A and B are shown apart, each in its own frame.
Chain A
Amino acid sequence: AQSVSQHNHHVILSEAASLELGCNYSYGGTVNLFWYVQYPGQHLQLLLKYFSGDPLVKGIKGFEAEFIKSKFSFNLRKPSVQWSDTAEYFCAVERGFYGGATNKLIFGTGTLLAVQP
């Protein structure tokens, strides 16, 4: 069965530290890849996505992610985190594309990031 793995469940960083959160998926076909973020007390929202093209994608708030097809990975990075980045981060994989496909997202278990001021 298709699955999404996030190996870091809890990450604690100091402000200005660099961040990399791992995400691996098991599906061998063509996929769309996403990172969603949930700030404390807020709803899940899209951080960035990859459909095709340049495997290095940039999202909001200085985040970026790199798709490495050979490694089935889509790791999230930020060179310098801020206290306001404290949140839970979810990687998600969508299999299937247009015209009648289910297009459902499969989420990883999430990584809770705490940034200390």
Chain B
Amino acid sequence: EAGVAQSPRYKIIEKRQSVAFWCNPISGHATLYWYQQILGQGPKLLIQFQNNGVVDDSQLPKDRFSAERLKGVDSTLKIQPAKLEDSAVYLCASSLAAGGPGYAGELFFGEGSRLTVL
């Protein structure tokens, strides 16, 4: 089974520039998550989608971060303008719909997109 695909793997930008990350979840997974993992910390949830609707975006810095999942499949996360503190690995994960058939609580992660802001 194909895993969660993310691109680009690495991105280096200067502060105040913009960047976009793309994620394609596992086929059939209704729930998609974006996590931010800063060096030395655990992943922190930025936004969670169920199909194309937002379930939780309480920790998304909405003044500079945006995310969409228009057709309920792949998703993009955008940062504009970037700050130095946005340097992190951005992880995309997917799972079956919580409470739905086959849901076992497991998240499947992509390899992440490493962002360096100079």
Contacts and interface: CB of A to CB of B under 8 A. Distances in A.
Interface of A: 4, 6, 32, 34, 42-46, 49, 51, 90, 92, 94, 96-110
Nearest to B55: A102
Contacts, number: 62
Given A44-B91, A97-B99, A109-B41, A102 B48 contact: yes
Chain A CB within 10 Å — which of B56, B99, B105 has the most?
A: B105
A108 B45 contact: no
B-side binding surface: helix, strand, loop or mixed? loop
B13 to A, nearest CB: 23
Interface of B: 3-4, 31, 33, 40-45, 48, 55-56, 91, 93, 98-99, 103-107, 109-112
The 3 closest A-B pairs by CB, nearest first: A98-B99, A107-B42, A103-B98
Interface residues of chain A: helix, strand, loop or mixed (majority)? loop
Nearest to B48: A104
A94 B56 contact: no
